[in-house]
Structure 1
Amino acid sequence: MMSILVTGGAGYIGSHVVRALGLAGMDCVVIDDLSSGHAEFVPDEVPLVQASLLDAAAITRAMTDHSVEAVIHLAGFKYAGVSVDRPLHTYQQNVQGTVLLLEAMEANGVDALVFSSSAAVFGTPDVELVTEDTPTRPESPYGESKLIGEWLIADVGRSSGLRHTSLRYFNVVGSAVPELYDTSPHNLFPLVIKALREGRTPRINGTDYPTPDGTCVRDYIHVADLAEAHVVAARRLVEGETLEAVYNLGSGSGVSVREIMDAAAAATGIDFEPEIGPARPGDPARIVATGEQAARDLGWENRHTVHQMFASAWNAG
């Protein structure tokens, strides 16, 4: 029986993709070095290969042992801020790892790939609504490495006929089930939840931005909706269809930091007034993308409200 290789499938997003594949009746195998993933996030019935993408032999064994016909590539070093201090590590994990994966795919006749890219490829866009045609100007080694990944994949597609697509997204939040949750030390939702559980008051950085309530507006999407888009893309590629090279998985509207704090209070029953800190240098007032192209081709839809997003995150873990 053929299966899909999910790189980084023991991580927060990857484990939700694995779950969505199972719900769709599609077999998969996970490869993850568990540097930020968790073995317990992978269902018992799903094979887990504990290895780095820098281990070319391990990638090949996973492909041959499990009759892999397509890849959903989520593995990578994902911390944009940290990447500034660790550029070589970031490029090694995200660029060299992708090169070795593509080589293994080519050698083993695996010709379909869904790449987990990032809205970090845009940097700080100067448009009200980001589209797939918005110029890419990454501002961190992480964003650069993701854009290089897109280029590599597109080049291989032109040379070998690889069917592929790259999915770009901003802030992924929430949980589909309580046992799968975000453990990142850098993301807003886990930081707010940690503060509230420890009896501390969450903080807003800056309240004088040119937005409706003065706080930054970002594109927050629920991880279950995101996972479903990966599965739809993989299925269409496996069936021999051609997709666009890139899709933005955006909400089209965005959510402010103040709205998230209000949702946190409502979901937890903790009545708090967030602390106000100074705006952080370089934080743009608004970054929101349209998901119209993905809606057309992948059935993409942001199906959860901010209240549902925060409540699912609070009830997980």
Structure 2
Amino acid sequence: MSDTTTGQCWLVTGGAGYIGSHVVRAFQEAGIRVVVVDDLSSGHREYVPDDVPFIVASILDTEVLAAAMREHGVTGVVHLAGFKYAGESVTRPLHTYTQNVTGTVHLLEAMREAGVGAIVFSSSAATYGTPHVDLVTETTPTRPESPYGESKLIGEWLIADAARAHALRHTSLRYFNVVGSLPGLADTSPHNLFPLVVKALVEGRTPRINGDDYATPDGTCVRDYVHVVDLAASHVAAARALAAGAELEPVYNLGSGDGLSVRQIMDAFAEVTGIDFSPEIAPRRPGDPDRIVADGSLAARDIDWAMRHTVADMVRSAWEARPAS
């Protein structure tokens, strides 16, 4: 399918990663040319389609980025590359800032050199820290509690400053717990709930819940789970809007509006997989808030955000995409 963005070409940094590879597929389905840059530090070469130009490089290499943009006629960037582990960022702050802050500086400089004037930035709910509200909106104060969250907020600031200086069109998308998969594009993170549950079930172990005495209906933490395909669709919608010259908000939350508890996720895994299990209850993890759920109404208004997948869809797609044992 093609549209008014035919002739556009978008560079996806981190396009060999879990979320990035789904964004690449969404651009392809929309008939929009795409180029991938990824250093494969956590991505997978096989996640990039054979017909997509792929540059194995770090976003810290300004000249390589600028050359790739010029060579492929890049008109916009979707910036997903970065060090994305909030917990590990506490013990590796310098690495986190180098990848996420310095890397974004180099990317923006390459865009300026190559005359690329639009960027969609992959930000994070970690910018909010532990919000003490029932529903997080874009005006909820940002109080990041890890170097990762801080680096994402600084990334937003950098892009906004570059926009003021160089007429850059931009928006930043803050998302929460991204789950589900297309076939062959599994989430392989060692820290995320879904791959941890899948790994435990595949290995015949009992999945674990960290704490069941929170102030929520079933005692387990409530989080905002969104399907990666829905998320990818809004990246394309944001890119199309920027390409068309639309005025977008500087940030959007991609959230469900109601959330799901960890126990609800476990129940869905048992039902979808047919594996009867009762999750092990472990102690709470320090710093886990009772509930974090975001309002996605602004994104629904402007960038085609919608929760098109149920929790069963999320679990089923993650289970079916599990790596072969």
- Smaller-chain TM-score bracket: over 0.9
* Equivalent residue in structure 2 for 1:312, among 314, 317, 321: 317
* Equivalent residue in structure 2 for 1:297, among 295, 299, 302: 302
CA–CA distance in 1 between the matches of 2:118 and 2:246?
Answer: 10
SS in 2 for 1:167: strand
Matching of residues 238-249 of structure 1 within 5 Å: 238-249=243-254
Q: Report what 1:142 is aligned to.
A: 148
SS in 2 for 1:286: coil
Opposite residue 194 of structure 1, the aligned amino acid is K
Deviations 1:242-301 (A, max 9, x none): 210000000000000000000000111000001011111110000000000000001100
Q: Which runs of 5+ in 2 are unaligned?
A: 1-6
Q: CA RMSD in A?
A: 0.7
TM-score with structure 1 setting the length: 0.99
Q: Report what 1:87 is aligned to.
A: 93
Matching of residues 1-317 of structure 1 within 5 Å: 1-175=7-181, 177-316=182-321, 317=323
Opposite residue 256 of structure 1, the aligned amino acid is S
CA–CA distance in 1 between the matches of 2:231 and 2:202?
Answer: 27
Q: Which runs of 5+ in 1 are unaligned?
A: none
CA–CA distance in 2 between the matches of 1:96 and 1:89?
Answer: 10
SS in 2 for 1:266: helix
Moved over 4 A (4+): none
TM-score with structure 2 setting the length: 0.96
Contact kept, 8 Å, 1:250 with 1:291, in 2: the verdict is yes
SS in 1 for 2:75: strand
Opposite residue 73 of structure 1, the aligned amino acid is H
SS in 2 for 1:276: strand
CA–CA distance in 2 between the matches of 1:59 and 1:124?
Answer: 35
Deviations 1:11-46 (A, max 9, x none): 000000000000000001000000000010000000
CA–CA distance in 1 between the matches of 2:45 and 2:318?
Answer: 20
Superposed displacement of residue 160, structure 1: 1.4
Superposed displacement of residue 58, structure 1: 1.1
Contact kept, 8 Å, 1:2 with 1:66, in 2: the verdict is no
CA–CA distance in 1 between the matches of 2:114 and 2:61?
Answer: 15
Superposed displacement of residue 105, structure 1: 0.7
CA–CA distance in 1 between the matches of 2:241 and 2:134?
Answer: 31
Superposed displacement of residue 158, structure 1: 1.3
Opposite residue 299 of structure 2, the aligned amino acid is A
Contact kept, 8 Å, 1:72 with 1:113, in 2: the verdict is yes
CA–CA distance in 2 between the matches of 1:215 and 1:313?
Answer: 21
Opposite residue 159 of structure 1, the aligned amino acid is A
CA–CA distance in 1 between the matches of 2:243 and 2:113?
Answer: 18
Opposite residue 72 of structure 2, the aligned amino acid is H
CA–CA distance in 1 between the matches of 2:198 and 2:224?
Answer: 19
Opposite residue 299 of structure 1, the aligned amino acid is D
Superposed displacement of residue 2, structure 1: 4.0
CA–CA distance in 1 between the matches of 2:106 and 2:50?
Answer: 27
The count of corresponding residues between Structure 1 and Structure 2 is 316
Opposite residue 251 of structure 1, the aligned amino acid is S
CA–CA distance in 2 between the matches of 1:2 and 1:241?
Answer: 15
